Amino acid sequence: MKKIENMNYNELIEERKELEKFIIRLIVRTPKENIKINKILRGENNRILSYSPFSINKFSSIFMSDILRWRYHQLSEEIHKYYDGRAKIQNKIEEIYGYPIKDKYIHLFFEEVFKDYNTYKKYCNKNNKKIVKIEKFNRICNLIEKWRKLSADMHYKMTLSEKRKLKKIFEHSNK
């Protein structure tokens, strides 16, 4: 295992994908009688997302060790320091929006605030922010779509058989 400080951007992403792959393989190789999954995470276009060590602890009966959670967190933190495609899109969004987005988890901010124009207006009124016109709001939403697609490529993509097994385990858990 390489030190994080000595890894380049692609190595960081690959190691994080490998951790996510390890978690998915652990789930699908465990007999469904011995595991419970409370939630299947879904992303852009209803895509089934892989689990992080944090989410697997929260949404299943599996417990990931502190060292795996720490490593995953450090990898993610280091990846977010790079000025990559997502960071460029985020800067464009902030430029149109008119304010820097200070939320730690930007994807949650996008989901909560930019769900629709009315939700956005309520958020702006509540936080004393200037409201952009609907055309600019739509441009922001298009940029968010691009951001989500780039983000999806930075995580492990499950195989069809892994998805099928995950769904079966979920159905068995929630009988």
On whether the CB atoms of residues 152 and 50 are closer than 8 A, the answer is: no
Q: Which residues pair with 37 in a beta bridge?
A: 60
Read off the pTM.
0.84
Model pLDDT, residue 97:
87
Model pLDDT, residue 44:
76
The DSSP call for residue 174 is T
Q: For residue range 101-144, what is the model confidence (pLDDT) as tens digits?
A: 887 678 888 888 888 999 999 999 999 989 999 999 999 999 99
Model pLDDT, residue 170:
94
Q: For residue range 52-102, what is the model confidence (pLDDT) as tens digits?
A: 999 999 999 999 999 999 999 999 999 988 999 999 999 999 999 888 888
Q: For residue range 5-28, what is the model confidence (pLDDT) as tens digits?
A: 899 999 999 999 999 999 999 999
User: What are the φ/ψ torsions at residue 134 (nearest 5 degrees)?
Assistant: -60, -35
Domain spans of the chain, in order of start: 4-82+159-169, 85-152
CA-to-CA distance for 138 and 166, rounded, in angstroms?
35
CA 20-92-143 angle, 5° bins: 60
Q: Where are the beta strands (DSSP E) in 16-115?
A: none
Residue with the bigger pLDDT between 175 and 69: it is: 69
Model pLDDT, residue 104:
67
